[in-house]
Amino acid sequence: MIDCREASRLISQHADRPLPLGRRLQLRVHLLVCDACTHFSRQVRLLRQALKRLS
């Protein structure tokens, strides 16, 4: 089981390139049980949407 430190890195990486299958599964399992990382994952997406609108 990966910890939040590791999961947060994977979340950020995943926004920039596809993760290998094993890592993706580890992340998915972690997100099932972790609210904080689920929020972070959503924040990364919201930041992306906000930055696209910046002009």
Partner 1 sequence: MRFASLELRNREAAEDAVQETLLAALAAEKSFAGRSNLRTWLTGILKHKIVDAMRRSTRERPTETELGTDDLDALFDASGHWRDPPQPWPEQAFEQKAFIEALEMCLALLPARTGQVFLMREHLGYETDDICKELAITPTHCWVLLYRARMALRQCLEKSGITKP
| The only residue of 16, 20, 21, 32 in contact with partner 1, by rule CB under 8 A | 16
H-type alpha helices, the chain = 4-14, 21-33, 35-53
CB of 22 to partner 1, least distance (A): 18
Q: Does 55 participate in binding partner 1 (rule CB under 8 A)? A: yes
Chain mean position to CA 24: 10
- Residue 52 tokens read as 């696209």
| The only residue of 17, 20, 22, 33 in contact with partner 1, by rule CB under 8 A | 17
CB of 9 to partner 1, least distance (A): 6
